[in-house]
Amino acid sequence: MDEQVAEHNSETQAVSGDTPVDLRAAYRDAHLQEVLDQLDRELVGLKPVKTRIRETAALLLVDRVRKELQLNAGPPSLHMSFTGNPGTGKTTVAMRMAEILHRLGYVRQGHLVAVTRDDLVGQYIGHTAPKTKEVLKRAMGGVLFIDEAYYLYKPENERDYGQEAIEILLQVMENQREDLVVILAGYKDKMERFFESNPGMSSRIAHHIDFPDYTVDELMGIAHLMLEKQQYRFSPDAELAFHEYLLRRMRMPHFANARSVRNALDRARLRQANRLLASGGLLTRQDLMTIEAEDILASRVFREGQPDDTSGPAARQAAG
């Protein structure tokens, strides 16, 4: 009798895979830390977002190891929702998420296809299905990132074809979820209303990540990173002026976090170039690198209490 019990226990142990698993080795082999370190370098702040990405990566790693030991709970739902204001890093995080999914074997290629409503919805009968299917074909094996996803649904317009695109997406998200991950992005309040109006879409989203606005100190850090990449720098007075610029700009309409910082620096470089040209004479390397306070203080934010990007493409980008 004891021999039978021992034999049964031995068989159970073999089937259950009680051989220890080195999870840290699996983590290293997947090179996940490289992706997470890159995310830290690319984006200032966003601690809660980065924490959620690390947690999700850990969940997927454990799920993969469980499968290797024949502990299969079924394919995890990987579709996501990223909510937050413009310029908070949603597209960048989506790119890194695609890379994580690829390294862990959840998508074949790990590429990101970023689209909006215009890429999915046609203007005439019969146009929407081909457009949506073409986008899905390009995204298959990777991640489809749909920015401002709530614009797919326009219930006030009976002739709108967005619902057709949604229905095609829902079918693919359910039936081909092992070959495509969809990330929906947009303003938090609008995304919440979108999910309330589309329970089928809401039920397919497993991970909701909210992207907070940056603090003024984080925005200064972003400015320094952008300037460093372009081999520029602030003078001490320009540093103070840009800090004050941000405090004022953050209170104005259409502020778009990192996008607004980039736009402001582009205009500061424009003013610097014109200042240097007007000054004449010989210029040093430091002259060419340095943004001065006057290049910042010439902004309409100081002169008129208006953002510089209140019209034209820059405004549309900031507002988006």
Q: Give the chain's residues under pLDDT 50.
A: 1-2, 4-15, 311-320
∠ CA 277-281-283, rounded to 5°: 75
Per-residue pLDDT tens over the stretch 287-299: 999 999 999 999 9
Please tell me the predicted confidence (pLDDT) of residue 306: 66
Give yes or no for a contact between 121 and 81, defined as CB atoms under 8 angstroms apart: no
∠ CA 35-85-103, rounded to 5°: 20
Please tell me the predicted confidence (pLDDT) of residue 314: 43
Please tell me the predicted confidence (pLDDT) of residue 256: 93
Give yes or no for a contact between 210 and 84, defined as CB atoms under 8 angstroms apart: yes
Please tell me the predicted confidence (pLDDT) of residue 1: 47
Give yes or no for a contact between 318 and 86, defined as CB atoms under 8 angstroms apart: yes
Task: Tell me the pTM.
Answer: 0.81
Domains and CATH numbers, the chain: 2-211 (3.40.50.300), 216-319 (1.10.8.60)
Dist. CA 226–CA 292, nearest whole Å: 16
Please tell me the predicted confidence (pLDDT) of residue 156: 74
Neighbours of 210 (CB within 10 A): 14
Per-residue pLDDT tens over the stretch 131-189: 999 999 999 999 999 999 999 988 777 677 888 999 999 999 988 888 899 999 999 99
Please tell me the predicted confidence (pLDDT) of residue 309: 64
Which runs of E-coded beta strand occur in 62-206? 80-84, 112-115, 143-147, 181-186
Burial 27-46 (b: 16+ CB within 10 A, else e): eeebebeebeeebeeebbbb
Please tell me the predicted confidence (pLDDT) of residue 220: 96
Neighbours of 236 (CB within 10 A): 9
